[in-house]
Structure 1
């Protein structure tokens, strides 16, 4: 039986609503003021909330604001009950996140119709989210073994060698095997972190409210410093300072700095990984005539075929010659997911045994709110 919370300070109206809902096989709870309504909502976790606007202690707007802070309640359908004289305030209620409103006095049919429409819509959203989570689960089940097998096999083989032959090995041989174990465990840790990030991004993309919240925020990420600083740090670690070529135009993009950092991390990591010392890695930025921000990361190296590019979204290994254990395909999928959140895009052009060009396009951020 679906549970409905009615927050209404006029007791006769509240009783009438309860009677109508009870006769339609709903379980109805009544709160006589806003504060009690908040407490009952958190305690009872109703499937839908009907709330008057003008009430003592806390009005309907304050109730809605408070409930939107509770992750368990925020997505529940919320319908305002309002007198005809309150009609100019409808927009305020909708902007705060109300799903609908009923104007007093209303008929039993109007009440039940509003309730049924919102419950049906909520059921469809829940079913869609359930299906998307199931699809995500299947994706992970299929792709995770491919990512885990290589480092796990390296760890198992090294452990077996130590277990069988440690007594007859030299110190140098033991150190060499220990180094293999350390590298494999680090790879496994990196893969785990990437999968956690991938799941987090997928959950954001399936949560329309969270997605809307992120996109509505005016981010002001300055790209030049991040690109120049991080590329030099990565190059120094690999003793490839001479390989970096920067042609950077200052851009302010509409993306959180932490997310832009993740994109840069993945793309530069791949650029270094799939090129040799002495091969140039170019990082270019510019603003196009249509006010879009462009980032190009170009590396000379082994490149990819069309078939290999297609396999990226399926997390499939390209061939045994690539060090796929570090999650090359998954890293690019993470980049694509972040870009999808911020309504950006990515294009990849690659030529086998030549070069790979990754082109990122993002909307500009404003320097003024």
Structure 2
């Protein structure tokens, strides 16, 4: 049974609301003012709160603000009841996080309809969150074991062969095994680095001082950084001949290590999800909107639904298409752009390819170097 908290300093109204909702099958608890209502909400965790605005000691707005500031009660649906539903007051309530207004006087039918609508909306939100959580669990359960075990198995298997049978191996066999161990080690390093960068970027969101310090960083020879990293990624994938570079001399408002990470992730995705012989275009330049880095391919592309679900640990069609990584790449790129005051735009169509553009606002002086 759903529990409803009614906060109002009029005993008669509380009695009426209690009677109406109890007949409808709800459990009703009451508070005569905002201070007691906040305490009851923290103790009882109701499914919905009905609260009057004009009360002594602590009005409805202050009650709402106190509940929204507490993580334990912040998500409880909240309906403000008032006989003075003026536009300014309604706007103020919505800004504080109210879910609905119920003008006084109201009929039992109106009361029940408002409660049902809010509870139904809250249920829909919970179900959507649960679906996303289930998808996240599925993605992690598919990605993590594979991503950790695959390179580790390669390292351990070939290391054991080298340790036990080195005398019987030919030099070219030793070199081949060493190459597998090296590539597996790099894959593990990339996995760990991506995880650490993602965690670092999430923590930055709560530290304005660190964000400001990041935004003061500059890469004056950005063209050289982009070219070197893009060529390295394409070469490692055997796609060096497919790489097309269109780079201007600009200064990028981002530290070199983060710019290199952007290029690595975006170019890596482009070569991974497109076939050999198709172009992978990397552009760096300036236009009327500021400085941009753009990577374009003619690969498998993504649907609008897949684009909307991009996030950490989310991968698409993993059960039918081999992938490497935890799905952190695009999320890291987006967060890097955001913490540096910019943004990321992704345009894609299934079967036609993908174009990802990272933008930084404003303009920087050109690089007068190479």
Same fold (TM over 0.5): yes
8 Å contact from structure 2 (residues 345, 358) kept in 1: yes
Q: Which residue of 2 aligns with 1:248?
A: 250
Q: Which residue of 2 aligns with 1:295?
A: 293
8 Å contact from structure 2 (residues 265, 329) kept in 1: no
Q: Which residue of 2 aligns with 1:99?
A: 99
1:54-69 aligned within 5 A: 54-69=54-69
Q: Which residue of 2 aligns with 1:74?
A: 74
Matched, 1:268 2:264: yes
Q: Deviations for 1:273-318, whole angstroms, at most 9, x for unmatched residues?
A: 98xxxxxx97623233xx47632369xxxxx763599998445899
Give distance in 1, aligned partners of 2:360 and 2:192: 31
Change over 3 Å in CA distance of 1:161–1:233 after alignment to 2: same
Q: Which residue of 2 aligns with 1:306?
A: 299
| Structure 2: 5+ residue stretches without partners | 167-176, 233-244, 272-280, 307-314, 363-370
Give the stretch that moved more between structures: 127-136 or 142-151: 142-151
Give distance in 1, aligned partners of 2:48 and 2:320: 47
Change over 3 Å in CA distance of 1:233–1:131 after alignment to 2: same
Change over 3 Å in CA distance of 1:347–1:77 after alignment to 2: closer
| Structure 1: 5+ residue stretches without partners | 167-176, 205-212, 252-256, 275-280, 299-303, 349-355
Give distance in 1, aligned partners of 2:146 and 2:226: 27
Q: Secondary structure at the match of 1:247?
A: coil
Give distance in 1, aligned partners of 2:82 and 2:60: 10
With normalisation by structure 2, the TM-score equals 0.62
- Offset at residue 150 of structure 1 (A): 2.6
Matched, 1:360 2:351: no
Q: Which residue of 1 aligns with 2:29?
A: 29
Q: Which residue of 2 aligns with 1:118?
A: 118
Equivalent pairs, count: 315
Change over 3 Å in CA distance of 1:25–1:119 after alignment to 2: same
Give distance in 2, aligned partners of 1:49 and 1:160: 64
Q: Which residue of 2 aligns with 1:16?
A: 16
8 Å contact from structure 1 (residues 294, 359) kept in 2: no
Give distance in 1, aligned partners of 2:317 and 2:178: 33
Q: Which residue of 1 aligns with 2:310?
A: none
With normalisation by structure 1, the TM-score equals 0.62
Change over 3 Å in CA distance of 1:112–1:358 after alignment to 2: closer
8 Å contact from structure 1 (residues 226, 261) kept in 2: no
8 Å contact from structure 2 (residues 81, 104) kept in 1: yes
Q: Which residue of 2 aligns with 1:209?
A: none
Q: Deviations for 1:54-101, whole angstroms, at most 9, x for unmatched residues?
A: 122221111111211223322221100112376651221122111111
Q: Deviations for 1:82-135, whole angstroms, at most 9, x for unmatched residues?
A: 123766512211221111111222221111111011111111121122222223
- Offset at residue 25 of structure 1 (A): 1.1
Give distance in 2, aligned partners of 1:331 and 1:232: 22
Q: Which residue of 1 aligns with 2:132?
A: 132
Q: Secondary structure at the match of 2:69?
A: coil
RMSD: 5.5
Give distance in 2, aligned partners of 1:103 and 1:329: 48
